[in-house]
Amino acid sequence: MASESKRIVALREEIARHDHRYYVLDDPEVPDAEYDRLMRELRELETRHPKLVSADSPTQRVSGVATREFGVVEHRVPMLSLDNAFSDEDIENFDRRVRERLELGEGARLEYNSEPKLDGLAISLTYEDGVFSVGATRGDGLKGEDVTPNLRTLRSVPLKLRGRGHPRLVEVRGEVFMTDAGFEQMNRDALAGGDKVFVNPRNAAAGSLRQLDPAVTAGRPLEIFFYGVGAIEGGTLPPRHSELLSMLREWGLRTCPEIRVTTGVEGLLGYYRDIGARRATLGYQIDGVVYKVDSLVRQRELGFVARAPRWAIAHKFPAEEEMTQVRDIEWQVGRTGALTPVARLEPVFVGGVTVSNATLHNVDELTRKDVRIGDTVIIRRAGDVIPEIVRVIAERRPRGTKVVALPKACPVCGSDVSRIEGEAVARCTGGLVCAAQRKESLKHFASRRAMDVEGLGDKVVEQLVDAQLVESAADLYLLTAAQLSELERMGEKSAAKLVAAIAKSKNTTFARFLFALGIPNVGEATALSLAEHFGELTVLQDASLEQIMAVPDIGPVVAQDIREFFDEPRNKKIVSQFLARGVNWPAPASGRSEHQPLAGKTFVLTGTLPNLGRADAEALIRKAGGKVTSSVTKKTSFVLAGESAGSKLERAQQLNVPIISEEQLRLLVKAFD
């Protein structure tokens, strides 16, 4: 008991400190998931020891404080928060509680209004006789900050409601947020101007709204969605929440287009999954969905408990940010010898999966983020994007953390590590001597987008190199089933299957073969451009630097890489071995109008192209047999990017989807021009 009461005091102090960082400074120290855990622990302890509950406990008020700088607005009706649910079972229980309280029968299926839970900051706007008079933040739920002049700068806040016959006074509530694109642009500008960057769109929105100088707010890309009504005087509300939202829309107040009326638990869970699947493409951050009993009569009947309504609940998505410890930092050697620092982490559940590694990209990033062994870090994993270290929690750095420096020798083969002045990447100079480079180039060669050898996965490649069965990728074509069946977990049947798959891969395309070679800086798009431009291998092999540079989007650096690759005697030998061992592809087609060069390829368009309009570009792709989709996934073949491309471009980079220009697209489809 004594130790529990001490823990309660400690938790309250810690939560108060986090509240200050989050609400006052807009600069949180820990991820939300950690904050929620502290609150939950405190609530549990207080439930067990009700005598220890004190008025100043953070559980006794809605979080947040009003800062001194702004005027204070007392909310006519308190701005409450929502209870959180994390599982389907929590939602089933919520629906059951609601039905029981309303004394509805077992089989009754209630109508709920389902809405995205926007991750911004809650605000209240008062309109008197249809004219915007006061705008306030939520603050502690009872009193907020007067941000009227700041809210007036938002284009989506009407200064006068549309239509007529408005209530004498109505207080509408909603969420101010920043779109992902707006946030990225703002941070880019901030970086360029040497200003502070924000850690996420929500903090950027909060920081932008809570500016003492409204001119600063005016320059920030803030948006708003309205989702409810607080006080109302001299007017009445319609009988349903969904109708109330329609009324807001008629008044010219923006509501979220994803809001739906759903029926029963199945409807709620279906909505949750649908929004969850489309979360990354909404263009703004949400951290779950909110379900509200649609009937306002029933809402009134259900009422409130302490700080949250009984008629609504937030169904949260798994946290995308979590904190964990760095156990070690190791250097991975890639296909071209590039050394990448990888943090080995205390496993942590984030974004719906357990993560135990995170890349730090290169030595500069490692230095910039100053990640050390023993540090506590924030990990982010959003959608299917690879996990990354957002930052170190400086306040939690223990004594004796270890700084990791770039090694002088390759950790795999011991060859020298070289780093060209001004380049971010450091490389092992071992080439094919280095087992790591050999393994990675074989993995690349066999991969789906290259030679597509089915069944030749990472584990088999590693064994083949370790057992010295293959020196280079060309040796794959000499492997026998007998040799393969010697490998671990490889039966005769699978050995025979693999030999067949390797043989099948011999029939390929020129572009795939060029990509599979792993020439530095030659990705899928460049390989396609080269194949289309030169048509035949011998022509490319004999091309001068100038001739290679004549291919659109190939500059002097890439041209040099290509030239050096084909000049290197070892590569020459391997290329001729491939041909001698049967690798082949169709000769360039002459009657090209018949074939569809983009068949089977999917494209995503982003930004403004130099010449083609969006519809023209789409038409061009479709005519050439390609498909156009709206969101970038691992399966996207190419992202066609133009001027001021936004988050799709970034996503393409994260997922390693090739990015091409309009000119490259034209080249790919030139048969159709």
Task: Supply the residues annotated as catalytic.
Answer: 117
Q: Does 309 bind ligand IVH (CB under 6 A)?
A: yes
What character string, x for contact with ligand IVH (CB under 6 A) and - otherwise, covers 23-62?
Answer: ----------------------------------------
Q: Which stretch binds ligand IVH (CB under 6 A): 114-122, 208-216, 362-370, 656-664?
A: 114-122
Specify the residue for token string 């007998």: 482
Q: Using CB under 6 A, which of 12, 75, 117, 444 touches ligand IVH?
A: 117
CB closest to ligand IVH, residue no: 122
Cβ-in-10-Å burial (0-12, 13-18, 19+) of 495 comes to buried
Q: Does 248 bind ligand IVH (CB under 6 A)?
A: no
Number of residues that bind ligand IVH (CB under 6 A): 15
Q: How far apart (Å, rounded) are the C-alpha atoms in residues 621 and 603?
A: 8
Our CB check for ligand IVH shows the closer of 117 and 143 to be: 117
Cβ 288 to ligand IVH shortest distance, Å: 9
Cβ 384 to ligand IVH shortest distance, Å: 25
Our CB check for ligand IVH shows the closer of 276 and 309 to be: 309
3-state secondary structure 336-362: CCEEEEEEEEEEEEECCEEEEEEECCC
Q: How far apart (Å, rounded) are the C-alpha atoms in residues 450 and 452?
A: 5
What character string, x for contact with ligand IVH (CB under 6 A) and - otherwise, covers 382-401?
Answer: --------------------
Q: What is the CB-side half-sphere exposure of residue 87 using CA atoms within 13 A?
A: 3
Our CB check for ligand IVH shows the closer of 118 and 413 to be: 118
Cβ 82 to ligand IVH shortest distance, Å: 4
Q: How far apart (Å, rounded) are the C-alpha atoms in residues 113 and 373?
A: 48
Does residue 464 contact residue 442 with C-beta atoms inside 8 Å? yes
Our CB check for ligand IVH shows the closer of 119 and 440 to be: 119
Q: Using CB under 6 A, which of 12, 138, 315, 512 touches ligand IVH?
A: 138
Q: Which of residues 222-241 bind ligand IVH (CB under 6 A)?
A: 227-228
Q: Which stretch binds ligand IVH (CB under 6 A): 272-280, 308-316, 406-414, 539-547?
A: 308-316
Our CB check for ligand IVH shows the closer of 179 and 324 to be: 179
What character string, x for contact with ligand IVH (CB under 6 A) and - otherwise, covers 75-104?
Answer: -----xxx----------------------
Q: Using CB under 6 A, which of 118, 329, 540, 605 touches ligand IVH?
A: 118
Q: Using CB under 6 A, which of 122, 528, 559, 617 touches ligand IVH?
A: 122
* Other CB atoms within 10 Å distance of the CB of residue 66: 22
Cβ 269 to ligand IVH shortest distance, Å: 17
Cβ 249 to ligand IVH shortest distance, Å: 15
DSSP three-state, residue 317: coil
Q: How far apart (Å, rounded) are the C-alpha atoms in residues 321 and 318?
A: 9
Our CB check for ligand IVH shows the closer of 137 and 336 to be: 137
Closest by Cα among 325, 219, 243 to 292: 243
Our CB check for ligand IVH shows the closer of 206 and 514 to be: 206
Q: How far apart (Å, rounded) are the C-alpha atoms in residues 544 and 110?
A: 73
450: Cβ contacts below 8 Å, ≥ 6 apart: 444, 512, 515, 516
Our CB check for ligand IVH shows the closer of 83 and 618 to be: 83
Sign for the CA dihedral angle at 312, 317, 318, 322 comes to negative
Cβ 264 to ligand IVH shortest distance, Å: 20
b (16+ CB within 10 A) / e for 28-59: bbbbbbbbeebbeebeebbeeeeeeeeeebbb
User: Residue 135 forms beta bridges with which residues?
Assistant: 125
Closest by Cα among 641, 651, 110, 32 to 383: 651
Q: Does 209 bind ligand IVH (CB under 6 A)?
A: no
Our CB check for ligand IVH shows the closer of 113 and 529 to be: 113
557: Cβ contacts below 8 Å, ≥ 6 apart: 521
Q: How far apart (Å, rounded) are the C-alpha atoms in residues 256 and 292?
A: 15
Q: How far apart (Å, rounded) are the C-alpha atoms in residues 19 and 61?
A: 12
Cβ 29 to ligand IVH shortest distance, Å: 21
**Alpha-carbon dihedral angle through residues 497, 498, 504, 508, given to the nearest 10 degrees:** 150
Binding site for ligand IVH (CB under 6 A): 80-82, 115, 117-118, 122, 138, 175, 227-228, 290, 309, 312, 314
